[in-house]
Structure 1
């Protein structure tokens, strides 16, 4: 599947210091070690509704990470999936009386438009689950052959005797290493985040679904020894990451709601298949964005959609400025005042770029680089640009600063 078009990326003088990220087992940001090419996997959308600010915050955050790594002189191999077959997509299509494939196509196109408008760098590999079904079948078949799975009787299967397939977590010593959670914490969110703890026949309520055999009215694909069906959500990212990045890639990203079960299960499945930990060397998670007192989510319907803001005439660079003013690890709530503040800020910066000149540009660029290298501290970078823009100008444009804002922060005036 083709991603959205790539924006131009100005080349800056010198290089940045690389990227250090906070880890749950460390009291300070830890440098992301890169041998040659920085391999980055960010979990993509399930295309059943439009991009909201919570989505946008995630993709802007990891866009910043990719920009920092490139600015440090590293090559970047960025992979993102598209979960274009999943229960929420099927449910929304049935509710709206549309074909699930048409719904996915329209929402993917809208997501592309939003990402282009926000000047998010596209992934190098943008991978559809539907288009790579044979690879998911191969992954699950490999796990079955390793003897780390089991089957559960499935009375509502289309074909008599067909059974769903689960990973047996009791065989996996690495389970829990990604999240660091205890079982009580896991159970609190497992069901609401796509798990099926109450399915009869499971050995452990937390065991992840690998293959769902065909049910009446559901799309299904040939699975060889697995029978007709479709893969579970978690194993899709396992397959795509292994196929394009291999084990031990540098960074996996997503929202904090993916820490468990999605990132945990994706990693444990990869280790089960390869016996070669770790799946990813570093993880980073975007904090949740709230609206009207609750987490912004499709299921709750309390969404501020990027596409609607754009239709309302909001400059996409203002939307991006709203996001950059928040630190990715700090939960925050969207308010109209944040948008108003960002509108004023962006206009001030645009005016300064016309009249401030490049006096102090080197100092500003060094400051932005240092801020972003330190756990993607975009609020610090924003504050530095505010300070620069407030100084007296000389009536000249500021091409060096303009290029820095574009290359490092993704903002083009």
Structure 2
């Protein structure tokens, strides 16, 4: 294993400047989901130049897959997949640090590739794939990959989560996105207000209903919402308003309960204002993350060897870091998505996080966790006893029998 570790470290160190520039170019050119054409070109070109077989526009116009090596279940050569993200947030840019996710996953894949090349006759070292996953902020393509059986021959899936602390097993919640449309009737707000039905009143009541509901929710149940369209002019009673809500819960059972409660609040506002209501739920709900314990333990050990210090703060360990379609992947294949601190505790989805994601400190953190990711995958790929533990952990959690390959 020591020789593998040195091989991973050397391969990533040799490419560090190029990896830094790759992440910087994505950071300087933030693109929204399904519009990441520049990042798509950068990443596919980078990987193709380094010997990966690349399929562009995989699953989506800005998606891709890049592979090296070959898996073989009968001989025990395994297939590890790194989940690469690169979309940005509206107005804020890379306030989720996905330029760093792209850098880390590509770097880790280079580490695995180097080990496969060095140990071409090794029994278990098989194939590495970088899956380009656009639009994590919207309808994540990892779900499309699941639906199209991409993970059928994948043994391990790994990614990272830029954050304000180092956590090997972060809490990621199930999320359901819903858009509400309230339809009322326009009227002159001064001359004949009684002729109108105020859709903005419906939206305000809805928001207040949800605010009251929050105090009655279980731990880890969350609802966030905005009024995305609230009317045209103050002297016209708004006839149409739009609201967007994110509902989060620990798992899909709690989500069903939360949806029932939220729906009652949505409909009550319509009834009170005599408005009509339309619901539009996403067809890509994100699942909670089922972190594989064995992989997480290996990752933490390997990351510590790179100088990463993990938080012991109970509040941070028990605070959800958000949601991701990596959670959906974790229900069909053993998976980890550890959180890593990019700059001493700066908070996600802020301009400060965007700035920090472009700094040298963030790059250095990214290189360390990329090495740890690669070493985690190599340790599992080359040791049958480790893979047996990974499999046992996976089978022990919900959904564990889905999508498993046959480990030798």
Same fold by TM (over 0.5)?
Answer: no
